[in-house]
Amino acid sequence: MRTFETANEDETIAAGVEIAKSLPERCIVRLEGNLGAGKTTITKGFARGLGADESEVASPTFTLIHEYGPRLVHVDLYRLESDREFWTLGLEDYFDRNCVVLIEWASKFRHLLPEETMEVRIEHKGGNHRTITVS
CATH number of the domain encompassing residue 113: 3.40.50.300
Query: Are the C-beta atoms of 51 and 125 separated by less than 8 Å?
Result: no
DSSP secondary structure of 31-44:
EE--TTSSHHHHHH
Q: How far apart are CA 74 and CA 88, in angstroms?
A: 16
Q: Which domain holds residue 102?
A: 2-134
Q: What are the pLDDT tens digits along the chain (135 aa)?
A: 999 999 999 999 999 999 999 999 999 999 999 988 999 999 999 999 999 999 899 776 678 999 999 999 999 999 999 999 999 999 999 998 999 999 999 999 999 999 999 999 999 998 899 999 999
pTM: 0.92
CB atoms within 10 A of CB 80: 17
Q: Is 118 helix (H, G, I), strand (E, B) or coil?
A: strand
As for how many domains the chain has, the answer is 1
CB atoms within 10 A of CB 14: 17
Q: Is 102 exposed, middle or buried (0-12, 13-18, 19+ CB in 10 A)?
A: buried
